[in-house]
Chains A and B, each alone.
Chain A
């Protein structure tokens, strides 16, 4: 269960960071949580973190960097990488939507501010919910549900995220101009590869 909680938490963290800009509350949480900070070794040592308050850090460094790597210069949408014509599929024909729909999940675009449901942050948040559901199943000792949820996670990871997210995250890491996003690119990639290894061992 500890492992599932851990996976759920990490999916939540990387989905949030890849989805939208940091806000002061979350930045303060990260700065004050040694466990999280360990995921961001360069950020932890960054002199600006000590010199500047969170608001200034966000406005002058972090948000501009996020804008560059997530909105302007890199495309964080699966369909861009998968489709021949590199168009982002914003309509209902997006295959990832089918998978969400199968679990009664529906993307709230007003909250997510993305143009399509196959944004990396959305896909990772979906994984977070699957892990949370697994955690509940583990608490209830519902072995059938646990097995099924692990299978679904593996399927989603292999059918979607692993098909394109590594390419995006490698570019993300190298294009990043702030330590936190550099570290995030590296950590997120490492984590989903590691999680796939774990799920492959669990689901035969």
Chain B
């Protein structure tokens, strides 16, 4: 047909421009290479998953990428003296480490070119059991973060005489900063009183390590460890605590038949992303179904077998609909439920059953007390959750819920799920989604088996803080560290005794609310009114926490926060307002033991400063063994970049407690070299060796390490990952060991004569003088006997899964929520507001009122951690419009790209918070009546760069007299003489430091104590840089402006959930067309109203401690980071 219609192409000759000028010109010519028959290199690898064998990692040669593109060595040959134009061969040292951009700890390997001593690429670590050599975009981006031209080259100090936030900075030395900070900490702690132990506060973003820093704070004797958890995951953890006294769920994605995601997390954006997504892909390949429950059509939902777009916060009614059908259609897994749910405790608590009758949960008191009675109670209890009610409340069509049930039953016990963020983090009472979700799983017996869902603590390794045997003072595994005996109300306020983690997002509110402070001081509590030292670590609360202007108010107030410093590799909104910024290393520049529950196994990765490891393995010796990482980074040209492990070792021994009078020094003093801080090799050899018996055995029996000074450390240094135990399923059934005299549970021995068996429940308790006070009856539950078998059971007091959370009902004031429940009608919804979302549809009264879904990650981004990567910024641009359904957009007259005013209003206080201006994107991918706009957009900076007047002139020494080349003995022999004492000359540094050049537009800000405004004045621009100029020769190609998002977190008031303590992220919003002069990104905040909204949530919703309270919190549930004494838990509150 084409030939039939052919025309003459002859007239092409008459082009006004010659063809040669039109052609792109992609060819160049060169000469043919000589034969490469003898070369060991080939043009094409045999397999895409190629990694060199471990024994070649120290010295591996590979053709440069040019050869793969340029026609290969067949054309140009291998570069040599005779063939200088041939393909270059990179001479690599490959060093394992672990990614640090999200929490998954995937393995990485740094490919260090020995001839230039620079990292040419980061690849995966094939030895890592969870990531299996794979990484997501964020892992590979580690290189661009390493050579980010805006990274901080040395410690910075706020210029004396300037105010916080004024933007005047000086270069300082590590020694000056550590001396000033150490003195302040020493002066505070040596008072020794209760308040001093609450006044040196650490505040971590994502820890990405398992217990090291908590151990530091333990040795400081402080109850002042704050984390970001309550803006992240405490609503996801609360149901796990209530069901199993565990921390979080741990699914076996790879073997599941149904993957039921309660968000877009796991498969496309968030938790343990790459490892989870890979396991999910494996399962789907084998035929598993994927269901995604999310009001937004995420990438995962888009490829799922079923998308369940429930109205935010109504997920529990869907789980209870499943429970109702399972119970009433004969699909109950009787064996599992009878064995592992606490039906005996439930039926024996007559007071509670009477309460249920009174509340109308059930119609009458159960007559029996056997398992069948329990099942009958459940059937009646969950009968109201019919298909009709589920459809009405959740807005999900009936056919989808029926299909979900079908999948749920077909999968048997192989259902993997994860209750995290999303529903749990967005909604008031969001924790109930996990509470009801576990019920549905449990009724089918899907908790624990292969392909099912289990719990975190069996699948994780936490030994980073347990290297105590290498120190003089800590004792093995820290056994000699005294328990902290104070309770910090700034982290654990009395209104939220059950908060999963610290109420860290309320810190500025608590510090500025003198009325609240006075109330509790009058009642006898020793509430701090200021902090002596505040130390965020790689954390940016100003930007990411709700009510950002309140953070700014407190950060700028030197009477509330006397000394502040951020341990951070990059600039951030928060750093702008602190006193010191101390540059810490990125993924390939620091030591961390990091393990996560990504599979039914216990593995750990070992994050390492790769340049240091490469040098040391090649024979280099640092001048100061306690600052080896700092010296190596100076040698590598990264600047005066350090790591936290060595920093805290040095701080504790030489700066916080230099004379040892506080008892802190000895805690970190080397046993091997008394008087000196412990070294990395000493600490980790003990931390790994003392706690992981299989690793210890393997390392010490391996001929390569058996004669080494630190065999276990060296094994981990070379491998970067370890699998201690695999295939961990239904571990609650592990047998209790019996050595004749003792029962042995979790490695602890209990004399059999001190053990007691409850014949009704099967619970075995034991006398334990150290910890008995924590448990009801003063005895510690250590196991359970069922059908004559003694097993370890779950971590609950009754060793079963707590369908009925007895302590929540009897001792901690929340009886109506002590079982999985959701209101059954509108009247109950109004009464039981604590578990009804503050954005439920019952609060939406007009066409322009919406539930705003905020809790999803922008693809390729991790909160604040990715704006320093040009690669991640280019592929994501931090693009963050507001998703609105096409029908809602049509109704309101909004078109794609329109600016919209999004006014935030609160359904508890009825106060308005202000507005942000967002970019409309109408889509079919969002449930009508709801909107979606990630709270991870809207980065900003107030200046494009800062001039550091002494940044260049103070460069006194330069250790790199010899060009970087590891094959040159002179280079290998050199090292900075006084690392941290004198300022190192920074190469290619012209005196200006850019601020987040790839990821933050320029803004101007106003704030007056009550109202705050921020407006963008200039988008991200192309720039030229001299730092790592060759690597960054593409910065002039920046094409994105970063102007599509808004700093909505500043508008958002704090919404503390009354039970979990989670900040409930979603917002009720009212949409209005933008007004004249509005620009996308503008925000206008009434943060005085926000303070009152926080107070309304506190005063109207919580059930805190009172004069009847004897304890601060149930002592048998986890209280993270620092072990506390009985004294700390005990409380006496005056009735004033």
Contact = CB atoms under 8 A, between A and B. Distances in A.
B44 A91 contact: yes
Given A15-B24, A104-B32, A129-B27, A2 B13 contact: yes
Contacts of A111: 24-26
Contacts, number: 149
A131 to B, nearest CB: 8
Contacts of B32: 101, 104
Interface stretch (A42-50, A64-72, A150-158, A189-197): A189-197
A9 B26 contact: no
A91 B47 CA distance: 12
A132 B67 contact: no
Contacts of B68: 90-92
Contact of A38 (B5, B11, B72, B73): B11
Contacts of B67: 92
A19 interface: yes
B72 A9 contact: no
B69 interface: yes
A93 interface: yes
A107 B27 contact: yes
A36 interface: yes
Interface in B1-37: 2-3, 5-7, 9-20, 22-32
A132 B44 contact: no
Interface size bracket, B side: 35 or more
A13 B12 CA distance: 10
Interface residues of A, number: 55
B74 interface: yes
B24 A125 contact: yes
B24 A121 contact: yes
B156 to A, nearest CB: 37
A106 B71 contact: yes
Contact of B44 (A15, A89, A106, A129): A89
Contacts of A104: 29-32
Contact of B22 (A13, A112, A126): A13
Contacts of A91: 43-45, 68, 72
A108 B12 contact: no
B52 interface: no
B287 to A, nearest CB: 23
B70 interface: yes
B163 interface: no
Nearest to A112: B26
A125 B26 contact: yes
Which among A13, A91, A191, A194 has the greatest number of chain B C-beta atoms within 10 A?
Answer: A91
Given A91-B72, A92-B73, A104-B32, A35 B12 contact: yes
B868 to A, nearest CB: 25
B81 to A, nearest CB: 22
Which among B27, B43, B70 has the greatest number of chain A C-beta atoms within 10 A?
Answer: B27
B483 interface: no
B27 A6 contact: no
Interface in A3-38: 3, 5-13, 15-16, 19-20, 26, 29, 32-33, 35-36, 38
A29 B73 CA distance: 40
Given A107-B27, A189-B2, A132 B72 contact: no
Contacts of B829: none
A165 B602 CA distance: 52
A122 B5 CA distance: 27
Contact of B9 (A101, A107, A109, A191): A191
Contacts of B13: 2-3, 5-6, 9
A182 interface: no
Contacts of A13: 12, 15, 19, 22
A3 B13 CA distance: 7
Contacts of A8: 19-20
A19 B26 CA distance: 10
Contacts of B27: 100, 105-108, 125-126, 129
Nearest to B14: A35
A3 B29 contact: no
Contacts of B72: 91-93, 97
11 contacts: A2-B13, A6-B13, A38-B11, A97-B72, A101-B32, A101-B71, A106-B28, A111-B24, A121-B24, A122-B26, A128-B23
Given A6-B12, A91-B72, A190-B7, 4 more contacts: A3-B13, A8-B20, A111-B24, A125-B27
9 closest residue pairs by CB, A with B: A92-B72, A92-B43, A12-B19, A9-B19, A91-B44, A112-B26, A6-B13, A12-B23, A6-B12
